[in-house]
Amino acid sequence: MINYTNMSNITSEKVPLQSVLKLNDNDVKEFICGWGAAVINVTITFPINKIIFRQILEGVPVGAAVGQMSREGVRLLYRGILPPLCQKTLSLSLMFSMYEGCKHRLCLLTENVVLAKILAANIAGTMEALLMPLERVQTLLQDWRYHDKFKNTPHAFRYLLTNHGVTECYRGMVPIIYRNGLSNLMFFTLRDQSKSLLGEQESLFTNFVSGALIGGFTSTVFYPMNVIKIHMQTKIGGDFEKFLAVTREVYVARNRSLTSFYQGVHLNYMRSFISWGVISASYDFLKNIIF
């Protein structure tokens, strides 16, 4: 079995390009592990994510966001879960499988581990961004202003495609690419370091704790990207706004306060802490079984 985790044993031996690029069983197994971890995660954390979304969109405290959702009732609590369930399962599958697979291949081709990690993280992030139509529809379904406009996920997709075309499904792609590439690089770099430090002490519990801390920290650092992305994606039709223009618009609208970009970050950290802890522990658990 090819060891994707430990790159220290890579030699300078020349490997045929065809054999390096060819897909293998390990790529499929990495994909399955990421998918399984994502299913568990989305089901548990969706309600928390919805509260954070309300805080980002409305700029309201936790109590007000929870109050809005309570008035809407249980029936609407999981409204919009299908897009993240599809998007997150595919996204995490691609994130882990693309990163590990690309890192391994790039290490063999370039013999430069650092460069391989940087390129692999950005390739994985760009591939994840191709799934953003699901993230786009999730944003619309969670926005209370569209509750009467869109019945469900297929209805929202039909509306966007029929009235505005495929490009409308990719509104807000720039902050997503920035977020994915940079956060992947930080997450996997810190994750590799933690695994090296833990060594034989690695267990299900330590995987949960290290994954939770790393994921929570990473998502907090790049949280403003989500704020900008959501403000782009809650609009339908019209010109596609520039990244810097939207950043300035949000900054001015929120009393020119940089801290306003972190509205809802506390709940986001809690959700990310739980989410990435579950993902890391589930992923490593499934990897030990499947591999």
Q: How far apart are CA 89 and CA 28, in angstroms?
A: 14
Distance of alpha carbon 225 from alpha carbon 185, whole angstroms: 15
Nearest alpha-carbon partner for 68 in 57, 80, 83: 57
Q: What is the CATH number of domain 27-290?
A: 1.50.40.10
pLDDT of residue 16: 66
- Please say whether the beta carbons of 268 and 54 come within 8 A: no
Report d(CA 79, CA 84) in Å as an integer. 11
Structure tokens at 192: 């590799």
Torsion sign across C-alpha atoms 216, 220, 226, 227: positive
Tokens of 62: 């936790």
Determine the pLDDT at residue 9.
46
Say if residues 232 and 172 touch (Cβ distance below 8 Å).
yes
Q: Map tokens 């994606």 to a residue.
A: 233
Q: What is the DSSP string of 247-258?
A: HHHHHHHTTT-G
First to last CA, the chain: 8
Residues 254, 252: Cα–Cα separation, whole Å: 5
As a whole number, the mean pLDDT across the chain is 87
Please name which of 158, 152, 98 lies closest in space to residue 126, comparing C-alpha atoms: 98
Euclidean distance between CA atoms 254 and 176, whole angstroms = 22
Whether 204 and 235 have beta carbons less than 8 Å apart is answered as: no
CA atoms of 137 and 84, how far apart (whole Å)? 9
State the pLDDT at residue 48: 83
Residue 236 CA to residue 172 CA, distance in Å, equals 11
Q: Where are the domains of the chain?
A: 27-290
Low-confidence ranges of the chain (pLDDT < 50): 1-12
So what's the pLDDT on residue 19?
66
